[in-house]
Structure 1
Amino acid sequence: MSSASTDFQDPGAVKSAGVLETRLIDIARERFAGEVWGRTALLSRGVSDFSDVFSAGAVDELVSRRGLRTPFLRVAKGGSTLPESSFTSPAGVGATIPDQLDDTALWRKFADGATLVLQALHRTWDPVAGFTSRLSSELGHPVQANAYITPPQNRGFDDHYDVHDVFVLQIEGTKRWIIHEPVHVDPLRSQPWTDHRSEVAEAAQGQAYIDTVLEPGDVLYLPRGWLHAAQAQGEVSIHLTLGVHNWTRHALAEQLAQAALAALCEDPVMRGSLPLGVDGPEEELAVIRERLAAAVLQADTTSAFQRSRRGQARPAPLGPVAQLAAVQGLGPGSLVRLRDALEARLEGSRLSTRVGWLDFPATDLPSVERLLDGGEHLANDLGIELVERLLRAGVLLPAGN
């Protein structure tokens, strides 16, 4: 059996590839990748109807019926975020959690001009979760989703930049966006806009790179670092922001350095104490640099990178009741499939996923490799015992779930 690794990311997304090109941009994917991605802003008009992803009805349901808690919602007005205590309260008998959303308080603040920010919708609203999962698989970077609901003629936040790329999807209403070029190109997550507050304020007074009103179906792409501010026009504006948490060379350098330092723990010379009475490290630095450089050259960060990728998102939902029924009703004719968004990777005899790893005997490896195609398979074709093991591990789901 070959020990070559097999990568697989979100089989459902691979089959229906094209979220980026068919719903978010009005140019070819290849041109976006070569000329736009991480380089410049892009405005695409009327590229898609997003009513299947999010809507005003979704906002009302999430706020009033889902029992959401902070930090799944923020409230902002006049450039400032309001204290959580001003829009949360206990939920009554049997649900006395003190920080659940208070829909009455939220209504009053919204009516007074505050923007509601529904955060992490990729965890709380299924259509958004599916959309972001497919986009993440296409981009190769984790994606999150927030919704911004702004009353007419109001704005939630002043000019600022984000430390991740964004796709802004206008859902309902209209909103004027004013975009300026970066004052700090490609900021890392440790370099927020507040570190450059004065430069941001000064740049925001200059000529805009883009000054436009987004209408439903429009999409705006902004690389991290690009300055932006937005104001609703004559009606309630709802837009969805897809935040792309970019993998950077700096992040890979951090992993490489960590792997090298871990290896140097086994080097007796590096564990040794500095000489007695040493005034400074200068005379030791040559040896340290030499051994650190050698450790960096030998370090293998592939496994660390894959673990980090798997840890930055969650697999597709798994219903415990349906899963138990699948295990108990398992038979030769049962149809099963690999769980979506597992980041499954077979290396030798080990399958690593977002829900853990499993080792297999050589006789099972052909069936495991077949599962990585993302299709549906008969339990009898794979082996009943193997399928039961993978169902119990949360790696397989019954087909149709």
Structure 2
Amino acid sequence: MESGGVLETRLIEIGRKRFADDVWGRTALLTRGASDFADLFSAAAVDELVSRRGLRTPFLRVAKGGTTFPDSSFTSPAGVGATISDQLDDTALWRKFSDGATLVLQALHRTWEPVSDFSSRLSTELGHPVQANAYITPPQNRGFDDHYDVHDVFVLQIEGTKRWIIHEPVHTDPLRDQPWTDRRSAVADAAKREAYIDTVLEPGDVLYLPRGWLHAAQAQGEVSIHLTLGIHSWTRYALAEQLAQAALAALCDDPEMRGTLPLGVDGPNGEIDVVRGRLAAALAEADTTALFHRTRRGQGRPAPLGPLAQLAAVEGLSPKSAVRLRDALEARLEGLRLSTRVGWLDFPEADLPSVMCALDGEVHSAGDLGVGLVERLLRAGVLVPVEQ
């Protein structure tokens, strides 16, 4: 994790090393007055997203009393030229909100630029994908019952106050396919015991919860808005899945493994030792590096790119043109091939020094890198122009 980034300057006070050694993935952490988050999100942002951005489901959920409302109860067509039926209906949402429902704005890392930029920076620092949701809860209301998430979260209190009750896990480090509903009774029993944390978050406070930690929250005497940054952690189990996938792919090229079992076979006993031996050998030789990075590239999108600005940069390209690597591209040069979130490119060996220079994230002139190479990378969406 990069020192001095948004983790240390906006979310925690104990320092990156201590957080990594003592807290990350291990225990809950409450940080009072971590930062002023007015630059990230606000009540005005909620109103704009709900009423003026033409959002559709699933960018919003509505919940009350621990259950979610059907999408059809708060969506409608928007008239001539916008007849798509699943657009948010601000009047319906106002009525549900005034009746005590919680609004959940989902995937804000795709719909609200300040949150998108923050999430992207945090993801780069942590090395794990980050998503962002906002929870807007009316006074004295509770959106969801005690539960746990299958990803870590940072809770950022934006406006109002909210009481959080935290209990230790009933199932440590749950995987994506191990939701709290599989342990509903154990969760309910644990929620009756003494809380690990019972506190009221105020604007600027941050609460970190590893996956599996039980939590429930209730707004106090005013509307509460908080951001949840969900960290979709890579796990050793995920690496094991990739290792098995690579080994099985290798066994496809083994004629003996493709062979038919004997006529009249009635069980695996006569063959399993051979299969186990071949599988173990394949696992020992499997290399999952390429699969890891391909999967990682698929877990996010690169920074926004303006088609018109990009066209202007190509048409006005000169040796003095300033360019830089597009953010969040997950670019990786392997041999003569550059793989990114926007595709791959092969280069002649003579271009490799300039390509490696372009990947350093600094600003470069087209003349230094080579105008022809820069044009190719601009057209591919790998480089972007730098405003002078």
TM-score by length of 2: 0.99
**After superposition, where does 1:307-346 map in structure 2 within 5 Å?**
307-346=294-333
Q: Which of residues 267, 275, 289 in structure 2 aligns to 1:288?
A: 275
Q: Which of residues 59, 63, 66 in structure 2 aligns to 1:79?
A: 66
| Equivalent residues, number | 388
- Deviation, structure 1 residue 18: 1.3
- Deviation, structure 1 residue 178: 0.1
Q: Which of residues 344, 349, 355 in structure 2 aligns to 1:368?
A: 355
Indicate the residue corresponding to 2:159 in structure 1.
172
Q: Is the 8 A contact 1:88 1:105 kept in 2?
A: yes
- Between the aligned residues of both structures, percent identity stands at 81
Indicate the residue corresponding to 1:194 in structure 2.
181
Indicate the residue corresponding to 1:8 in structure 2.
none
Q: Which of residues 138, 145, 155 in structure 2 aligns to 1:151?
A: 138
Q: Does 1:387 align with 2:374?
A: yes
Indicate the residue corresponding to 2:12 in structure 1.
25
Indicate the residue corresponding to 1:229 in structure 2.
216
Indicate the residue corresponding to 2:231 in structure 1.
244
Partner of 2:256, secondary structure, is helix
**After superposition, where does 1:132-151 map in structure 2 within 5 Å?**
132-151=119-138
Q: Give ranges in structure 1 of 5+ residues lacking alignment.
A: 1-12
**CA displacement 1:73-131 (0-9 Å, x = unmatched):** 00000100011011000011100000000000000100011000000000000000000
CA distance in 2, matches of 1:33, 1:396: 33
Q: Which of residues 45, 48, 58 in structure 2 aligns to 1:58?
A: 45
Indicate the residue corresponding to 1:35 in structure 2.
22
- Deviation, structure 1 residue 400: 3.3
CA distance in 2, matches of 1:211, 1:182: 15
CA distance in 1, matches of 2:82, 2:15: 50
Q: CA RMSD in A?
A: 1.1
Q: Which of residues 195, 200, 221 in structure 2 aligns to 1:213?
A: 200
Partner of 1:268, secondary structure, is coil
Q: Give ranges in structure 2 of 5+ residues lacking alignment.
A: none
Q: Is the 8 A contact 1:180 1:210 kept in 2?
A: yes
TM-score by length of 1: 0.95
Indicate the residue corresponding to 1:6 in structure 2.
none
Runs of 4+ in 1 over 3 A off after TM superposition: none
CA distance in 2, matches of 1:238, 1:221: 17
* AA in 1 matched with 2:257: M
Indicate the residue corresponding to 2:55 in structure 1.
68
* AA in 1 matched with 2:380: A
CA distance in 2, matches of 1:265, 1:365: 34
Indicate the residue corresponding to 1:262 in structure 2.
249
CA distance in 1, matches of 2:324, 2:116: 19
CA distance in 2, matches of 1:286, 1:242: 47
Q: Is the 8 A contact 1:17 1:134 kept in 2?
A: no
* AA in 2 matched with 1:353: T
Q: Is the 8 A contact 1:17 1:138 kept in 2?
A: no
CA distance in 2, matches of 1:259, 1:315: 27
Q: Which of residues 105, 108, 133 in structure 2 aligns to 1:121?
A: 108
- Deviation, structure 1 residue 17: 4.7
Partner of 2:257, secondary structure, is helix
Q: Is the 8 A contact 1:174 1:237 kept in 2?
A: yes
CA distance in 2, matches of 1:400, 1:181: 50
The more displaced of 309-318 and 348-357 is: 348-357
CA distance in 2, matches of 1:222, 1:288: 42
Q: Does 1:274 align with 2:261?
A: yes
Q: Is the 8 A contact 1:187 1:224 kept in 2?
A: yes
- Deviation, structure 1 residue 373: 1.4
- Deviation, structure 1 residue 332: 1.2
